[in-house]
Amino acid sequence: MSVSKSDFNYIRELVLERSAIVLDDGKEYLVESRIGQVAETEGFGTIDQLVKALRKNSHNGLQSKVIEALTTNETSFFRDIHPFETLKDAVIPELLENRKNERRLNIWCAASSSGQEPYSIAMVIRENFPVLLDWKIDFVASDISETMLNRCRSGKFSQLEVNRGLSAALLVKYFEKEGASWFIKRNLQEMIHFQQINLSRELPYLPKMDIIFMRNVLIYFDIETKKRILNQLISILQPDGFLFLGAAESTINLDSSFERTDYKHSGCYRLKR
Amino acid sequence: MVEEAANGLEALETIQKEKVDLALVDWNMPDMDGREFIREVRQDKTYKDMRMIMVTTETAITKVEEALEAGADEYIMKPFTKEIILEKLALLGMDTSNASK
Ligand SMILES: C[S@@+](CC[C@H](N)C(=O)[O-])C[C@H]1O[C@@H](n2cnc3c(N)ncnc32)[C@H](O)[C@@H]1O
């Protein structure tokens, strides 16, 4: 399905306004394929008709469907591996010491996509830190997309998904197979609270976080939005907390309150003292 | 370098001749089952550093468990991609920087 210049611009503005995701010139093909798909499943013959309905706001939930269709949900278990090793070898051990009186830990995974990332964190905890079973763990995983959040909540993964980045030992320990699908076990699922949070808006109330994973999502935003989000994190992150960004992301030139830690290839940042 | 073996016996010969760091082992080889192969290799201390990944169409949890018990380091369910292998190697702590072949 083809998209006219004006329809492309309309969709681009809508997506920017609602999600802060930037669609550069030349991304017409993306709109054609992904929004063409939405137009089809929603019963519009053309993208033009879909945009007319968007303009009139006559079609309930259509905006969200368009925005969700333009998010990129690529993820995998233990993606890039190093952040999870740093979590296990350095971050959680330090926090165990620093929080031994309160015995509580707050974790936020801020673009959880289909759930591989928060469940990887949950497995690191279960597998290595049995003492945390007696602590109060507040673990929030969020995304803009309700479709993705529902996938997270279902804890359901395909064979291809469990093939990627997940060790066989963890697969047999923490998953159950039903037909062709793999389900994460209840006790891991119950560790995490899934909630919709749009990072481009003012953030809802969140407790002070010890660990924030915000990986591979800032890359979709413009510089001002990145700055605004990082700036909000300053007050959400505990002074001795840890922020993980994606391998291609950094706070450099965006926010001078953070500094990169020495943990290799982990994208792990802390607030400057 | 990549060596290929058509069956289990050939694979056993190969690892005697060359130093193999990583073996992708098919569960269903013509002469011997991949699990037996892995078990046999694991009994010989000469190969203690060799990593073995079971690659198979078998997808039952019990099969994964059996492979791990036999001594497999990892398990990949077919179909798979190059990326999946690289991710598994990273999990095993193997250097994948020049393994893209
Ligand atoms: C590429 S995935 C990253 C998943 C995971 N963090 C990882 O690194 O593997 C990007 C996710 O960001 C979400 N996203 C995009 N814009 C967002 C926004 N404004 N607020 C919250 N999440 C957003 C998308 O829905 C998608 O699931």
The interface predicted TM-score of the complex, written ipTM, equals 0.92
- Asked if B68's CB is within 8 angstroms of A168's CB, the reply is yes
Is residue B31 situated within a structural domain?
A: yes
Average pLDDT (B91-100) is: 74
| Domain range enclosing B70 | 23-91
pLDDT bucket at B100, cuts 50 / 70 / 90: very low
Ligand 1 pocket check: which of A14, A23, A67, A143 to mutate, most ligand atoms within 8 Å of Cβ?
A143
Quote the pLDDT of residue A264. Answer: 87
- How many structural domains comprise chain B? 1
Buried b (16+ CB within 10 A) or exposed e, A177-213: beeebbebeeebbebbebeebbbbeebeebeebbbbb
Is residue B101 situated within a structural domain?
A: no
Is residue B30 situated within a structural domain?
A: yes
Quote the pLDDT of residue A60. Answer: 80
Q: What single-letter amino acid sits at A74? A: E
Are A20 and A221 in contact by the 8 Å Cβ rule? The answer is yes
pLDDT, tens digit (0-9, with 9 covering 90-100), for A118-127: 999 999 999 9
Burial of A27 (C-beta count, 10 Å sphere; 0-12/13-18/19+): middle
* Chain B positions in Cβ-Cβ contact with residue A76 (cut-off 8 Å): 87
Written as six digits, the tokens of A143 are 């995304």
Is residue B99 situated within a structural domain?
A: no
- Please provide the average confidence, as pLDDT, over all residues in chain B: 91
- Asked if B61's CB is within 8 angstroms of A175's CB, the reply is yes
Phi, then psi, of A7 in degrees rounded to 5:
-70, -40
Quote the pLDDT of residue B61. Answer: 97
List the 154-213 stretch of A: residues with Cβ below 8 A of B.
Answer: 159, 162-165, 167-169, 171-172, 175-177, 180
- Asked if B65's CB is within 8 angstroms of A163's CB, the reply is no
Residue A72 CA, ligand 1 centroid: distance in Å: 7
* Whether the predicted model's global pTM rises above the 0.80 cut: yes
Quote the pLDDT of residue B99. Answer: 52
* Chain B positions in Cβ-Cβ contact with residue A171 (cut-off 8 Å): 61, 64, 75
Is residue B56 situated within a structural domain?
A: yes
Average pLDDT (A71-95) is: 97
Residue A1 CA, ligand 1 centroid: distance in Å: 26
Are A67 and A144 in contact by the 8 Å Cβ rule? The answer is yes
Written as six digits, the tokens of A166 are 């997940």
What is the distance between the alpha carbons of residues A110 and B48, in angstroms, rounded to a whole number?
41
Which of these ranges, A67-71, A78-82, A210-214, B91-95, has the smallest mean pLDDT?
B91-95
Name the DSSP class of A220. G
CATH number at residue B30: 3.40.50.2300
Written as six digits, the tokens of A144 are 């803009």
Is residue B9 situated within a structural domain?
A: no
Ligand 1 nearest atom to the CA of residue A197, by list position: 21
- Asked if A172's CB is within 8 angstroms of B64's CB, the reply is yes
Say yes or no to pLDDT of B67 above 70: yes
Whole-number Cα distances in Å, A43 to A49, A53, A62, A67, B71? 10, 11, 11, 17, 53
Residue A71 CA, ligand 1 centroid: distance in Å: 7
Say yes or no to pLDDT of B4 above 90: no
Is residue B62 situated within a structural domain?
A: yes
Quote the pLDDT of residue B96. Answer: 72
Average pLDDT (B86-97) is: 88
pLDDT, tens digit (0-9, with 9 covering 90-100), for A137-163: 999 999 999 999 999 999 999 999 999
C-beta of A152 in contact with ligand 1 (< 6 A): no
What is the distance between the alpha carbons of residues A24 and A20, in angstroms, rounded to a whole number?
12
Q: What single-letter amino acid sits at A146? A: E
pLDDT, tens digit (0-9, with 9 covering 90-100), for A15-72: 999 999 999 999 999 999 999 999 999 999 999 999 999 999 878 899 999 999 999 9
pLDDT, tens digit (0-9, with 9 covering 90-100), for A171-203: 999 999 999 999 999 999 999 999 999 999 999
Say yes or no to pLDDT of B98 above 80: no
Residues of chain A with pLDDT > 90, as a percent, come to 97
Are A230 and A260 in contact by the 8 Å Cβ rule? The answer is no
C-beta of A225 in contact with ligand 1 (< 6 A): no
Nearest Cα to Cα of residue A117 among A83, A93, A67: A83
For helices B34-43 and B8-17, give the axis angle rounded to 10 degrees: 30
Written as six digits, the tokens of A38 are 């939405």
- Please provide the average confidence, as pLDDT, over all residues in chain A: 97
- The answer to whether A88 contacts chain B (CB < 8 Å) is no
- Asked if B68's CB is within 8 angstroms of A177's CB, the reply is no
C-beta of A120 in contact with ligand 1 (< 6 A): no
Quote the pLDDT of residue A108. Answer: 98
Are A86 and A263 in contact by the 8 Å Cβ rule? The answer is yes
Is residue B67 situated within a structural domain?
A: yes
Average pLDDT (A254-261) is: 97
Nearest Cα to Cα of residue A47 among A93, A99, A9: A9
Are A222 and A254 in contact by the 8 Å Cβ rule? The answer is no
Structural domains of chain A, with CATH = 5-71 (1.10.155.10), 82-271 (3.40.50.150)
Say yes or no to pLDDT of B101 above 50: no
- Strands of chain B, DSSP E: 22-26, 51-56, 74-77
